[in-house]
Amino acid sequence: MPILPMFPLGTALLPGDHLPLRVFESRYQQLVHDCMAAPDGPRFGVVLIARGREVGGGDVRHDVGTVARIVVDTELGGGHHRLECLAEERIRIVRWLPDDPYPRAEVEPWPDAPSEGTDLSGLTGLFGKLYGLLDRLTENGVTPPRADDLPDDPGARLYALSRWVPMGEADKLALLTAPGPDERLAVLTEAISTAIDIAEWRLKEQ
């Protein structure tokens, strides 16, 4: 079972996301050092913190996460780093290991469940409504996602579309833990509907 260095954060990281990180704690400085020297590349796991804080340890962590690959490592002096990372595949935590000195876990890949063919056509109207409202709420205007810029695979496409929807960490975690595209579509549809309701309420309050 693969063992990965783990970086619990206050955000749920979805496959395809870009993750900027500022590393200053000594335990995570060691994590970066070990990742950059790893033979299979500079990779670590990211999970959402269920309770607690990012700094200091003692947090309670969710058991579903995402592999992040370091693509840029900028040393800032004093052992500090500024990282640019790209989220890759989804993982499940099989077993947490002792923090020595940073969190580590045995993990397994969690690919999407098979789907007979997820119909995403209903999202077009929802995105049109949402972005029409957001355009009215913003001074500079907003641009909806372009179909040509999105992945063809339904599961990956839904992750990509979610980055265009204002949502909280609970919704992101629900997207991450959806077994496959059909369930992820239901979660995203609900998140868009909630965002529409909030946008309509804000317009009424103006």
The bridge status of strand 80-97 relative to strand 18-23 is antiparallel
122, 154 in Cβ contact below 8 A?
A: no
pTM over 0.85: yes
**How many CB atoms are closer than 10 A to CB 124?**
11
Tokens coding 143: 């641009």
Q: What spatial distance separates the first Cα and last Cα of the chain, rounded to whole Å?
A: 55
Flag whether pLDDT at 54 surpasses 60.
no
Q: What is the mean pLDDT of residues 75-102?
A: 92
Report the chain's mean pLDDT, rounded to a whole number: 90
Burial of 31 (0-12, 13-18, 19+ CB in 10 A): buried
Q: What is the pLDDT of residue 53?
A: 58
Say which amino acid occupies 112: D
Q: What is the pLDDT of residue 158?
A: 96
Q: What is the pLDDT of residue 62?
A: 92
Q: What is the mean pLDDT of residues 76-95?
A: 92
Q: What is the pLDDT of residue 104?
A: 96
Selected residue with higher pLDDT from 75 and 110? 110
User: Residue 189's closest CA among 205, 169, 167?
Assistant: 167
Q: What is the mean pLDDT of residues 152-172?
A: 94
Flag whether pLDDT at 57 surpasses 80.
no
Flag whether pLDDT at 14 surpasses 60.
yes
